[in-house]
Chains A and B, each alone.
Chain A
């Protein structure tokens, strides 16, 4: 069974640009969550999508957005990048949501210069 796949693995962007990250969940999983991990911080929840609908949202500015497609694949977009957006972005999939353990991808390392 294939795991969670995130692309790309690494990205370097310039301040002010926008970026799109992709996540393909485990087959059959309908819930996809996104997290940001920065040095010294734990994983901070961005948002969760379930069956193409955003079901939960964390405390991040509107520059962070996402969507989910009918095949459960999800994308996350960050517009007007800031230096502080440099982080490891992790995607997690689960069958139903937070009541079952989530399986994480390897993450996308975003560096904003």
Chain B
């Protein structure tokens, strides 16, 4: 049973617009969430994280929103750039003490 779900396998966005990547989780014990970006032939790169004591965390063009009641988080990229084209993985952990559980990823294509 998938505990972390990214229901959109792919997303296309025009350059300069907002990209919104979604992630749902089923395990209510998860309280630490991360987003990773992966280019082909490279390992995932850490982007941004959020703990359950917050509902928003911002880092430059990247903002993660957490809705605990809906068990949903989203990553917003504004403005989107062609270099953002990659696969984005959502991951979750319990108090940062358990192995990260990853979603299957969403492939983002930013079109110039």
In the complex, the chain B residue whose C-beta lies closest to that of A55 is B99
Contact status B4-A42, CB under 8 Å: yes
Contact status B99-A48, CB under 8 Å: yes
Contact status B44-A90, CB under 8 Å: yes
In the complex, the chain B residue whose C-beta lies closest to that of A47 is B99
Given A6-B43, A45-B100, A92-B43, 20 more A-B residue pairs with CB atoms under 8 Å apart are A4-B43, A33-B100, A42-B89, A42-B103, A43-B89, A43-B91, A43-B100, A45-B99, A48-B99, A56-B98, A90-B43, A90-B44, A97-B97, A98-B98, A98-B99, A101-B46, A101-B49, A104-B36, A104-B44, A106-B41
In this complex, how many residues of chain A approach chain B with their Cβ under 8 Å: the count is 26
Q: How many residue pairs between the two chains, A and B, have CB atoms under 8 Å in the bound complex?
A: 61
Contact status A102-B46, CB under 8 Å: yes
Contact status B104-A42, CB under 8 Å: yes
| Chain B, interface residues (CB within 8 Å), range | 20 to 34
Cβ contacts under 8 Å, A40 to chain B:
104
Binary contact track B74-112/A, C-beta < 8 Å → 1, others 0: 000000000000000101010111111111110000000
In the complex, the chain B residue whose C-beta lies closest to that of A105 is B43
Q: Which of B44, B91, B104 has the most CB of A within 10 A?
A: B44
Cβ contacts under 8 Å, A6 to chain B:
43
Is residue A25 contacting chain B, with contact meaning CB distance below 8 A? no
Closest 10 CB pairs of A and B: A99-B96, A104-B43, A42-B102, A45-B99, A43-B102, A101-B46, A42-B104, A104-B44, A98-B93, A98-B96
For A103, give its contact among B6, B41, B46, B97 (CB under 8 Å): B46
Is residue B62 contacting chain A, with contact meaning CB distance below 8 A? no
In the complex, the chain B residue whose C-beta lies closest to that of A91 is B43
Binary contact track A40-61/B, C-beta < 8 Å → 1, others 0: 1111110010000000101000
